[in-house]
Amino acid sequence: MKNNIEKLIAEKLKREIETQTRRHFIKQCATGMGGIALGSIFMGCDPLTPSKTNSNLHTGFTERDLNPLATLSPPFAPRAKNVIYLHMAGAPSQLEMFDYKPELAKLNNQECPQSLLEGKKFAFIRGTPKLLGPQATFKQEGESGNWVSDNLPHFKKVVDEVAFLKAVHTDQFNHGPAQLFMHTGSPRLGRPSIGSWVTYGLGSENQNLPGFVVLTSGGKAPSAGKSVWGSGFLPSVYQGVQCRSKGDPVLYIEDPDGISRDLKKNTIKAINEINKKEYSKYADPEILARINQYEMAYRMQIAVPEVMNINNEPDYIKEMYGVEPGKESFANNCLLARKLVEDGVRFVQLFDWGWDAHGTDASTAVDLGLKNKCREIDRPMSALLLDLKQRGLLEDTLVVWGGEFGRTPMQENREGKTMGFKGRDHHGDAFTMWMAGGGIKKGASHGQTDAIGFSGVDGRVSVHDVHATILHLLGFDHEQFTFDFQGRPFRLTDVEGEVIHEILA
């Protein structure tokens, strides 16, 4: 008997030693000392300062360790607690939607002055392009008297709910980098997206749903790929979870044939026990992310199909949004966004693809395809605002609308040739975004562009300013909200960004 126990102990020791091979040892000799020194510089394995979380003395885990989505209070009183971000991927034309330029109509088909082109880079425009007047009629709408084009007839009814930013600018003129910039604060890969920052900073209230959900429509994913909802250097548990509005909302969410839920539950429990042991050995936050993702996936199996099912909504709601059950559509996604926010999801990100109106064919012409795109979003986004409003959700939900940049007042002349359809090239100097909801001044309009809408002349705001404002509304000082990585604190707004007070209530 005693012999057996000794054997077992010896076996255990042997197993432990086996995990340390000769190679491990030699490797550690080389890196061990440097590692000690670097440990204090690279703080990647310490996702949160201990002061922010309640340490559990019995297990040595903090609440945030075991549940990285456990909620935290923001440093300052927030005006919004959830965000719905509507991104029109491909960059919508502000000149056919919100930025009314009567002067541009008069200058239609005239050559663009050289002074505007000097030192500028365009994606496709070459030589001297011609100006292209607005391809829509505009009217001042609502009590605010803000301009909205006829492309958005339903939106006119909610125009008093939103605050426009008419002179946003970006320094990127290609979709991928510009989308990354718009969502991560940097045109290069590797930074966390806004939704990741927000869920990292605030956690998420609903235990059964992810804190950051992404829904796409328009047939294609954004050009920048999934990095626009990636977690960058933040623990990967904070990355966006992409849900589908067609078919299973999350892939492989159904139990496989012959596997009961109980068996699955026990399996996950066992796996997590092992993973917790691994964590206590290596303290790698990625292990915690994995533990949490197993548990989340299990809970999501019930909760997600329920929240992602729009069929249970009353007909008048479905009609208001114009949903098409069973299809992948922006309307479905808007209704889902409301349902998700209602259920406490922190950040909902919608991407709608198909706004790249170059005029290479009818579907990308500003007077044809663009009108179709406008129609596709007009009813759903107006319905979203009204629905949030009547449910009292607009009080603490921030809705942001925009693209990655705007479009040129000049007609695109790809390869220097005149094109058959009317289109506009990428343009980062001035474009329109709007925000609505928690803490936003209703009916405001900030910023102005020049007579032809080429550049902002007043109230220019940068992408960093937009980010600073979003974080401000959620209760953060964007300059203090940092994450230590590679030896220095990182911010969403890098070293720039100023809160746009003009649109705050």
Residues that bind another protein (CB under 8 A): 71-79, 150, 153-154, 157, 205-208, 314, 316, 319-320, 322, 343-344, 362, 367-369, 371-372, 375, 379, 382-383, 386-387, 389-392, 395, 459, 475, 501-502, 505
Nearest distance from C-beta of residue 20 to another protein, angstroms: 41
Q: Which is nearer to another protein, 189 or 504 (CB)?
A: 504
Backbone angles phi, psi at 74, to 5 degrees: -70, 155
Beta carbons of 131 and 410 less than 8 angstroms apart: yes
Nearest distance from C-beta of residue 205 to another protein, angstroms: 5
Nearest distance from C-beta of residue 174 to another protein, angstroms: 27
Q: Which is nearer to another protein, 96 or 404 (CB)?
A: 96
| Tokens coding 419 | 């094109």
Nearest distance from C-beta of residue 505 to another protein, angstroms: 8
Beta carbons of 348 and 340 less than 8 angstroms apart: yes
Rounded CA-CA distance 103/451 in Å is 6
DSSP string, 127-139: S-PBB---SS-EE
C-alpha radius of gyration, the chain, whole number: 26
Q: Which is nearer to another protein, 182 or 296 (CB)?
A: 296
In sequence order, what E strands does 235-384 have? 241-243, 347-353
| Tokens coding 467 | 């980010």
Nearest distance from C-beta of residue 353 to another protein, angstroms: 18
> Kind and range of the H or E element at 342?
helix 330-342
Q: Which is nearer to another protein, 123 or 317 (CB)?
A: 317
Q: How far does CA 49 lie from the centroid of its chain? A: 26
Rounded CA-CA distance 122/174 in Å is 9
| Tokens coding 228 | 């626009």
Spell out a b/e string for 311-347, using b for 16 or more CB atoms within 10 Å of the CB, else e.
Answer: eebeeeebebbbbeeeebbbbbbbbbbbbbbbebbbb
Nearest distance from C-beta of residue 167 to another protein, angstroms: 13
Angle at 118 between CA 114 and CA 122, to 5 degrees: 100
Nearest distance from C-beta of residue 356 to another protein, angstroms: 16
- Alpha-carbon dihedral 104, 107, 110, 115, rounded to 10 degrees: -60
Nearest distance from C-beta of residue 501 to another protein, angstroms: 5
Q: Which is nearer to another protein, 78 or 232 (CB)?
A: 78
Rounded CA-CA distance 91/394 in Å is 26
91: left (phi over 0), alpha (psi -120 to 50) or beta: left
Q: Which is nearer to another protein, 42 or 76 (CB)?
A: 76
Q: Which is nearer to another protein, 157 or 244 (CB)?
A: 157
Strands 397-402 and 445-446: unpaired
Q: Which is nearer to another protein, 103 or 342 (CB)?
A: 342
Rounded CA-CA distance 471/287 in Å is 28
Nearest distance from C-beta of residue 98 to another protein, angstroms: 18
Q: Which is nearer to another protein, 261 or 391 (CB)?
A: 391
Q: Which is nearer to another protein, 380 or 409 (CB)?
A: 380
Nearest distance from C-beta of residue 360 to another protein, angstroms: 16
